[in-house]
Structures are given as C-alpha cells and as structure tokens.
Amino acid sequence: DIGVDVARFGDDESVIAAVIDKNKQMPSEIYHHNDTMQLTGRLTQKIERCFNLVREIHVKIDCDGLGVGVYDRFREVVYKRRWRNVFVYEGHFGGRGGKVKQGDPIEFENSTGLMWGTIREQLRTGNIELWNDQEQTAQLANRKYRLNSDGEIVMERKEDMKKRGVRSPDRADALVLAVWDPPSGKIVTRPFV
C-alpha cells in the first residue's frame, strides 16, 4: 500500500509512503518543490521498483487540492502501461467519518479522524513497524484533537497547527493514507483490462 501526500511548492513536503502488508513501513520518499507531473514521475518510478515484489499495489493519493492532478495523471500512467495489479484510490481528508472497526466505542467526525484513528489503532496494538524518522514521529504525536457535542473526535486542522507553529503533518498524512482501507466499493480506478 502506498500513500501520497502532495504539497508542490512552498514549505510543505510531498511524501510517498509505502507499507508492506499494512504492518511494515518502508523508508518514505520526501520531495520539496516538485510540480504535480514531477511527483507523478516519482510515483511511477516507485511503482516500477515495487512492481514484481507484490501481487497487488494499492495507491491512495490525497485528492484534496493539488493531489487531484497527480491522481488524474497517474491514472493515465496505469492505463497506458497496462498495470493490471495497480489500483488507484482518491483519498479525501474531509469526507465522511465513522468508526475504525465495528463495535469500536470511538467515533470520528470525518475521514481525517477515521484515517488517523486507523494508524492510532495500529500503533496502540503494536501491529505496525514504522520507519525510523523523528520528523514523522513528531507529526504523529503533535496533532491535537477535540470532542464535538456528539462525542465524536475532531482532528485539528492543518491551518490551526501552523498557527501554533507546528509544521504540516505531510509525512504522517502519507503514512495514514497508506494504512487506510477505502470503504468497499470505492475503487475509483480499476487496473487495465
């Protein structure tokens, strides 16, 4: 599974995070000042390196904002190269929330919380081995949350993090996308047939 957080130009980072079997993170690829086509090229190179190592590759791209350009172009690459085992998903950090698993007492207001709740559960149960990256660890630990009046967890917005002097959690977001399972029936791009 591969998660892609897209930043383009500016202070934020574009990150490609890969997780094997949802429990072992590979070293993330971190880029600064790449346009969407360059980042798509980096993602294409990553897939080519992994192509024969696994049966299926699930790529989840943050499509809120600039990432939609990477998503659209990468879909074309998958089609043109006839990659039958590559599945591409839109990731949206503002979508519908819910529970990480059935019967869980914790509910999240939106998909940001739901995705972050997934990595929280993996870490809590010791079911994931993270790449040793102090910045990623800090990003996972620095994001605050609150409860709304319905008792749902609401994750701190990136804008609010920056106001308190904390960097955008780009590395953590890419990891969160990698471990996230889109709701069934949400495969947006099927492999070439």
User: 172: which 2 tokens?
Assistant: 């953590």
| pLDDT at 89 > cutoff 60 | yes
Look at residue 193 and tell me whether its pLDDT is greater than 60: no
Q: Which of 8, 9, 15 is nearest to 174 (CA)?
A: 15
pLDDT band at 124 (very low <50, low <70, confident <90, very high): very high
Cα 124 from Cα 145, distance rounded (Å): 17
Residue 121 tokens read as: 């559960």
What residues are paired with 61 via a beta bridge? 4, 90
User: pTM of the prediction?
Assistant: 0.91
As a whole number of angstroms, the distance between CA 131 and CA 17 comes to: 10
> What integer is the mean pLDDT of 154-167?
91
According to the model, what pLDDT value does residue 63 have? 92
Q: Quote the CA–CA distance of 17 and 169 in Å, as a whole number.
A: 13
Residue located via tokens 């994001």: 143
Pairing of strands 24-25, 14-20: antiparallel
Q: Copy the structure tokens of residue 147.
A: 């409860």
Alpha carbon distance 66, 7 (integer Å): 7
